[in-house]
Structure 1
Amino acid sequence: MFAEPAAPGTSTSKVDTSAFAPTRAYVAGREVAGLEAGEQTSVDLETDTYPKAFTSMPPGRYRFQAVLDRNHNYNYRGRGAGDLISPVIEAEMPGACPQLTLSDELPQKTPEQLLAQLPPDLRKRLGAGLAAVRKVEFISPALTKFWGQPVSVRGYVALPPRYGRDAVTYPTVFKIGGFGSSMVSASADAAFAQIGMASGKLPPMIWVVLDESSATGTHEFADSVNNGPWGTALTAEFLPWLEGQFRMDARSGSRFLTGHSSGGWAGLWLQTRYPATFGGVWATSPDPSDFHDFANVDLYAPSANFYRRDGAEVAAFREGGKVIATNAQFAQLETVLGSYGGQFASFEWVFSPRGQDGRPMPLFDRATGVIDSTVTEYWRSNYDISDRLARDWTTLRNDLDGKIHVVVGGSDTFYLDAPARRLKAVLDRLGARSSFTFVPGRGHFDLYAKGSDSDALTADIAWEMYAIARPGSERTTRMR
């Protein structure tokens, strides 16, 4: 259930919350099972709430709405197809909360409906790109064995304009979506790559846009005791199969990785975990690669707390130099919205050891912020990229040196510039060749823009990759 103040003279069909405005709405949630049509259920408005109990609302008029999240993905993408919602009802508080009826099912939007929301020119170009891309799906034996049911590695492929006219092979870009991405966003990213190559903005390469979403959030293409062997599935199973389907160069020096945010971390992980398989990673605004600075917290500090440091709240997001949410707000809102799919829970599904209850052990207590040092040591031993590089650089150097490229905003919205600086410092101390760019004034969501081009960075990265795969090639404005 969601509730927010009702401004006089306004109306809405949706009451919702946002991590970027965590105190805008009151939220109450609970798990329900076996709820049948016509049945009633209640939600505890005192304890299972955020930011406070509903009885603490200041006097006034409020709007209320109920949502049944039928597939447990509210924390990942919000309400969506198949979820049940109630009409928005207004009521005065203090007083009894209104009875809400889950009467409407949200429909699945067709690609045509999604395209119809775009400006006409973009609609036409994206439609042409979507018609050209190819869906790929490979049932992984390793993941299927882990889960006891068929599990696939999935994505979309964009092919160069001249593909199929001759026997030429091409370099391959593996692009990984960030938190909140899906097969729908993967298809759009592949379509934009198709459009970019057709216009000459991007060099002729095969783009494989991978879906890293799962029921628990993003699996990061990392082998995990909770999510299963996603790294093994990608590199040992999907990659050989894919190279048998398409005319790829099929060599390390022509396989490249890129991704933003969680996709950036996944790219860094794959490059450093399988250094001889890939020829370079271009990670943009990657999630923390050094857990001395994870969500603004040094996980290894004695008596570390995820919520407070030196008596002050730890910031989670910023915008224009102003803190807009804290770790406590973000984590506690996520907890009320459900036990699956949230950002912090997603990290635990990838990084944490499995607890006695069969679920990942939590990094920190959601009520107090106290960090479990047993969990942090497991994270450090298995997934701290900086720590692994420092430990194993002698072994990794020959296959990894010069392959790490990171671009991040100097004012990243989630403070991700700080762990990137730590990663750079570790590589510098090791004498490694790497490339780090900190773009002054840029945040998490405007990093790719240059002038009037909102996606200029993609082209810059693509041409750097192409120069490695095709030495001596020059960047052009039009490929014919």
Structure 2
Amino acid sequence: MRARLAGALCAVLLVVTGTTAAGVTGDGRLRFALTLAPSAARQAGRSAVDGRAYVIVSRKGAPEPRDQIDITGGVPFWGRNADGVRPGRPIVLDGGGGTYGYPLKSLASLPAGHYSVQAFFNTYDTFRRGDGSTVKMHMPCGDGMDLFHSPGNFSSTPRWIDVDPRHPRTVGLTLDRLITPSQPVPPGGTCQQGNPADSAHVKHVKIQSPALSKFWGRPIFIGANILLPAGYDPNGTVRYPVEYHFGHFTTNAPRGFREDGGNAFSKWWLSDAAPRFIVVEIREENPFYDTSYAVDTPNLGPYGQATTRELIPAIDARFHTIAAPYGRLTSGGSTGGWMALASQIFYPDVYGGAFAGYPDPVDLRREQIVNVYDDANAYDTIREWDRTPRPDSRTVPGDTNYVNAQENLWELARGDRDRSGGSWAMWEALYSRRGKDGYPAQAWDKRTGAIDHSVSAGWKAMDLSAKVAAEWPALGPKLQGRVFLYVGDTDTYFLNTAVELFQQRTDALTNPPSGFTFVYGRAKPHGWSPYTAQEWFQIYADYVAKHAPKGVDASAWRGPRVTPRLNVSGGEIVPAEKHVGLPR
């Protein structure tokens, strides 16, 4: 207790004098005392803040230490939660249990050296949700949960210090800089309402969602980036099919389009050769991640309802879309691949076909390479006398980039209770029930990886493979021949293994047979696609024309058909490469 009091007294001395105190007696630990500058607090309009405080150290002067954090090859950083922080009152980060770091767990492990150091503070808002829970989380503001650049957060000006474990010291750092929104804020509004500027072919929509606002207990907005086809006439009568292209949060134009025709896709899109489609990219950043996954969940709220019943009708009302399932296709890769497939499965009466690439795990017997239902540990394969780390990311030749424990512990240092903004935290928020504390129930111990099967068993409700198999009598007539999946068979994150399990399960379905198409790229990594964007739109055009109601004239938007290998025949793409995954 005395050692802690001594550290606190030194921290107070730092606040008063603004100097670095050396020679602190006590437990011999290096400490950092972080204080919020009154000027930064005034600029933010806050008298006190809740959140998570960090210290980041680097041997390099540039870029700033906060920009050098990564799972591998990144610099050490440590964090701890801090509530009710007021200007001038220190937050102390030390080698104690309340401070947790990555890749060095404890500040006491930092070796002697000359370091550039920086303090950071991730602010949490208090959400009194409609489900009765109260949680503290960071609300992104047009940044897509880019934690170390998110508006409303504070940082210190980096400074150089010398560290020597033989000589304990307390280092004072002042959080004197506030991150402000990069997008324009509407008069009298908030940064969540901001929209990028429109152009001739690129438009933006944002609405307040009644369903999400009720769930989160405050106004929640969802939006979309819209790409219009060449020749689009807002006063015309032609209605166009829509590609709902899912992915991570972005304010960029869909499909990389440029008004000046400065790339191959843009030139093609504006040419006579391109089918006339409208492209919609959803923008749904939220307190857990940079996208919602577009389904209803206990932890994120009714994002599926908000997307399908609120946002899509608003888009249909403003633009000349074909407002019927046959004219709405879903697509995307990785996170967007999961969203494209899940949207088709959960809302088959809204969408008419899914074209999903290298999706996040679609069968949770392979959450990457973890069987969440049967494995004992998410980080290691455990045997009687030994244990082997589970790889998380690999190269095509087979080298391991990093293992599951590394990414999960990196996320834990960024934020506990699934507040890291990372992929594993988001998956838990997506799949898990709500825990007793209001945050997602933890499927495994974040420090050890030990799986709690009483939690992971409940993930089956969001397991796309399990859902399709269990509900096939109802889903089959609506999904038959409407799912197209493609993935490299050496996907960087092992996502092909879940796709193969999904294929095995759906190939066995009858009454009706699934008619799903699976395309695998031999020795291809994450991000592989069998076709270019231009070729995909030719496929989409043929597909929509094939499934349009009898008598519909597609000539106004279909464009020329250019190459036989892109035909849709019998509900199936004629693929460049195709093979069935090996049984497991």
TM over 0.5: yes
The 1:191–1:274 alpha-carbon spacing in structure 2 relative to 1, beyond 3 Å, is farther
Residue identity in the other structure for 2:505: V
**How many angstroms apart in 1 are the aligned matches of 2:332 and 2:443?**
25
Aligned residue among 544, 550, 570 for 1:469: 544
Normalising by structure 1, report the TM-score: 0.84
Instruction: Report the secondary structure of 2:341's partner residue.
Output: helix
Residues 28, 163 of structure 1: alpha-carbon distance in 2 compared, 3 angstrom cutoff: same
Residue in 2 that maps onto 1:258: 331
- Partner SS, residue 253 of structure 1: helix
Which one of 106, 109, 132 corresponds to residue 53 of structure 1? 106
Residues 142/108 of structure 1: CA separation in 2 closer, same or farther (3 Å cut): closer
**CA distances 1:277-305 after superposition (whole Å, capped 9, x unpaired):** 2111111121101000003101111x521
Deviations 1:410-431 (A, max 9, x none): 2222111111111112122224
1:46-101 residue CA offsets vs partner (Å, 9 max, x unmatched): 43222221222333333322112236369942321443222333333334363222
Instruction: Quote the residue 2:4 is aligned against.
Output: none
- 1:441 is matched with 523
* 8 Å contact kept, 1:353–1:360: yes
Q: How does 1:371-390 map to 2 (within 5 A)?
A: 371-380=451-460, 382-390=461-469
Select 1:86's aligned residue among 156, 164, 188: 156
**CA 1:402 to 1:347, structure 2 compared with 1: closer, same or farther past 3 Å?**
same
- Indicate the residue corresponding to 1:167 in structure 2: 237
Equivalent residue in structure 1 for 2:412, among 329, 332, 335: 335
Of residues 298, 305, 314, the one that matches 1:225 is 298
Matched residues in 1 for 2:164 and 2:272: separation?
Answer: 62
Letter of the 2:534 counterpart: A
Distance 2:293 2:497 in 1: 21
**Offset, 1:473:** 5.6
Deviations 1:157-183 (A, max 9, x none): 1111111163111101111123xx24x
What is the aligned partner in structure 2 of residue 150 from structure 1?
219
1:404 to 460, 465, 483: 483
- Whether contact under 8 Å (1:12, 1:88) holds in the other structure is no
Give the whole-Å Cα distance in 2 for the aligned partners of 1:94 and 1:186. 50
CA distance 1:46–1:25, shift in 2 (3 Å): farther
Distance 1:419 1:212, change over 3 A: farther
Q: Which residue of 2 aligns with 1:414?
A: 493
Task: Give the share of equivalent positions with the same residue, in percent.
Answer: 28
Higher relative contact order (CA 8 A, sep 6+): 1
**TM-superposed deviation, 1:185:** 4.1
- 1:413 partner SS: coil
For residues 316-368 of structure 1, the C-alpha deviation after alignment (integer angstroms, 9 at most, x for no partner) is 11235321221111111111111322222212222211111122101111121
- 64, 68, 80: which one aligns with 1:13: 64
Which amino acid counterpart does residue 102 of structure 2 have in structure 1?
Answer: Y
Change (3 A) 1:12 1:273: closer
The aligned length equals 447
After TM superposition, give the deviation of residue 254 of structure 1 in Å.
Answer: 1.2
Equivalent-residue separation in structure 2 for 1:293 and 1:201 (angstroms): 41
SS of corresponding position for 1:250? coil
Structure 2 matches for 1:207-246, cutoff 5 A? Answer: 207-217=279-289, 218-246=291-319
Aligned residue runs from structure 1 range 259-408, under 5 A: 259-301=332-374, 304-310=376-382, 311-320=387-396, 321-339=398-416, 340=419, 341-380=421-460, 382-408=461-487
By how many angstroms is 1:438 displaced? 1.9
Contact 1:75 1:342 in 2 (8 A): no
C-alpha separation in 2, matches of 1:317 and 1:263:
19
Give the TM-score of the pair, scaled to structure 2. 0.70
- The letter for the 1-side match of 2:459 is W
Aligned partners of 1:408, 1:200: CA distance in 2, in Å?
31
Counterpart-to-counterpart distance in 2, 1:36 and 1:196: 55
Q: Secondary structure at the match of 1:31?
A: strand
Q: Secondary structure at the match of 2:83?
A: coil
What is the aligned partner in structure 2 of residue 123 from structure 1?
none
Q: Is the 8 A contact 1:6 1:90 kept in 2?
A: no
Q: Higher helix share goes to which structure?
A: 1
Q: Which amino acid aligns with 1:398?
A: P
